[in-house]
C-alpha cells in the first residue's frame, strides 16, 4: 500500500509533510471557517496542547486540548444524527478536543467546553458540535482566579 504524502504550509510550523491518512475531513467546516474542510492534528511533545492545522489555509491553526485532561468529569451524549454523520460505530472510534484561546495575558487562557471537536479517528471525519448542556461554558478558564470559570 502506498501512502500519499503532501507538503503543507503552516504559519506556525513552516513546511510540513502530511500523510493523506492523517487528514481529517470536516464536511461542514468549523463555524466561521466553513470553507475549510481539511485539517491535520499536530501533536506537541510532552504537552497537553495540540494544533488543528488547516490544510487549505496556512494561516488557520487552532490550539486544541483533550478536555478530559483538564476536566475529568466532562461528559456528554452525542445525538444519533452526529453519530450517523461521522459514521461512528463504537466509542473507541471517537476522539474529543476543545479549542483553546490563548490571549496576550496567558493567565486568561480559556477552553471552549461548549462546542467540542468530535473526530471519528478511523473514518477521519470531524465536526464541531454545540452542546445543549448548561454545565459547560464557552469560556472555561484554565487558571484559577481567572474569572472563576463563569460562562460569558
Number of domains in the chain: 1
d(CA 14, CA 141): 30
Structural domain contains residue 59: yes
Structural domain contains residue 39: yes
Listed in sequence order, the DSSP H helices in 1-152 are 80-85
> Which pLDDT score, from 0 to 100, does residue 16 have?
82
d(CA 147, CA 152): 10
> Which pLDDT score, from 0 to 100, does residue 144 have?
67
> Which pLDDT score, from 0 to 100, does residue 149 have?
54
CATH number of the CATH domain containing 109? 2.30.290.10
Structural domain contains residue 15: yes
pLDDT digits (tens, 9 = 90+) for 60-74: 999 999 999 999 999
Structural domain contains residue 150: no
Structural domain contains residue 151: no
**From the centroid of its chain, how far is CA 17?**
20
d(CA 36, CA 54): 7
> Which domain, by its residues, includes 17?
5-141
> CA 61 → CA 53, 88, 133, distances in Å?
4, 25, 27
d(CA 87, CA 123): 7
Structural domain contains residue 76: yes
Query: Low-confidence residues of the chain, pLDDT below 50?
Result: 150-152
* Residue 149 and residue 109 in contact, taking contact as beta carbons nearer than 8 Å: no
> Which pLDDT score, from 0 to 100, does residue 151 have?
46
Structural domain contains residue 12: yes
pTM: 0.88
Structural domain contains residue 108: yes
Amino acid at each position: 500500500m502506498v501512502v500519499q504524502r503532501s507538503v503543507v504550509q503552516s504559519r506556525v510550523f513552516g513546511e510540513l509533510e502530511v500523510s493523506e491518512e492523517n487528514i481529517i475531513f470536516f464536511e461542514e467546516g468549523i463555524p466561521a471557517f466553513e470553507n475549510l474542510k481539511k485539517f491535520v492534528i499536530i501533536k506537541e511533545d510532552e504537552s497537553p496542547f495540540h494544533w488543528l492545522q488547516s490544510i487549505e489555509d496556512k494561516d488557520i491553526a487552532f490550539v486544541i486540548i483533550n478536555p478530559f485532561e483538564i476536566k475529568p468529569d466532562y461528559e456528554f451524549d452525542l445525538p444519533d444524527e452526529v453519530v450517523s454523520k461521522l459514521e461512528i460505530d463504537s466509542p473507541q472510534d471517537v476522539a474529543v478536543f476543545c479549542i483553546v484561546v490563548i490571549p496576550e495575558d496567558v493567565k486568561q487562557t480559556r477552553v471552549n467546553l461548549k462546542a467540542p471537536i468530535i473526530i471519528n479517528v478511523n473514518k477521519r471525519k470531524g465536526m464541531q458540535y454545540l452542546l445543549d448542556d448548561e454545565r459547560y461554558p464557552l469560556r472555561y478558564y484554565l487558571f484559577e482566579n481567572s474569572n472563576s470559570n463563569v460562562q460569558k
